[in-house]
Structure 1
């Protein structure tokens, strides 16, 4: 198995943000999924944590985009089709890691519930209670979650392929 030299890795801030956001998504996604199955007396607590983590993901993604735009990107080796697929999946991950929390935040607002970020303060609502678009925003949020899960599965499959089958240094670029 080949190791990747430091100049072939992503910048430290990009790597830290990658793993921080991945961890938050891996906590937020299942939390959102189970909200429909929890008892009413704790449902609001689940919403509070899910929404607060999602809002944190949004802001960290904005920071990550800035870090990515201001950092050198390691050169990707491989066949052109593989490189194109990697760029497409990464690009879509970035898009849906923005679309999902934005649509969730706006859906919460449109349903008439302001975001109480971890119970510390109320986040200003750009749309307020808007029931006529709440369903659409909720649908976008829900579909975005499933699309993000599919993209994560593709991303993870590529990691396994490179690390276990190809045994190249791709994984080490982000570690």
Structure 2
């Protein structure tokens, strides 16, 4: 067994990282644009990226489940190992929930989810503007929770790389 994650998981990790940052940026920006064609395009892109994230997190979970994975990082205290596992579970949960909440909210709002302008996905529920508002609120809370998890994740990596200098980044490093 190697101390590195499998290549497929490393590629998905970094690709999803970029995709998630782009999706969050779109989410923060799209509501500040004047209603019209540009706003609609940004919402469509945000939804498409969200569906792509959903598919990738399912693929990533399956690849992770089927293994093999490297052993836990050597020398890490048990409490730190537990925190890492909790943060990773949080990532999986939130990255599954956010796209589903967005899709449900769009369905309840009456807005179609069109994957990159090519495939119209089915509405998950019927129109209900009050429910849409609640779902979008949960989606927004989830997005800010995700931002918090990303910050924790990056701070943890920086701590290992710059303070401990234990080479932990190499396990998930792209090269």
> Do both proteins adopt the same fold according to a TM-score greater than 0.5, normalized to the shorter chain?
yes
Please give the residue correspondences for 1:19-168 in structure 2 after superposition, counting only pairs within 5 Å: 19-41=14-36, 42-76=38-72, 77=74, 78-168=76-166
Cα shift at 1:132: 3.8
1:9 correspondence with 2:7: no
Whose relative contact order is higher, 1 or 2, with alpha carbons under 8 Å and at least 6 apart? 1
Asked if 1 retains the 8 angstrom alpha-carbon contact of 2:103 and 2:124, the reply is no
Cα shift at 1:39: 2.0
Q: How far, CA to CA, are the matches of 1:130 and 1:62 in structure 2?
A: 28
The TM-score with structure 2 as length reference comes to 0.93
Cα shift at 1:71: 1.2
State the SS of the aligned residue for 2:31: helix
> How many residues end up aligned between the 2 structures?
170
Q: How far, CA to CA, are the matches of 2:167 and 2:70 in structure 1?
A: 12
Cα shift at 1:16: 1.1
State the SS of the aligned residue for 1:37: coil
Asked if 1 retains the 8 angstrom alpha-carbon contact of 2:109 and 2:128, the reply is yes
Alpha-carbon displacement from aligned partner over 1:64-111 (angstroms, at most 9, x marks no partner):
000000112212220011111111111101110111111011101110
The TM-score with structure 1 as length reference comes to 0.93
State the SS of the aligned residue for 1:40: coil
RMSD: 1.2
Unaligned runs of 5+ in 2: none
Q: How far, CA to CA, are the matches of 2:149 and 2:31 in structure 1?
A: 23
State the SS of the aligned residue for 1:127: coil
Q: How far, CA to CA, are the matches of 1:70 and 1:129 in structure 2?
A: 39
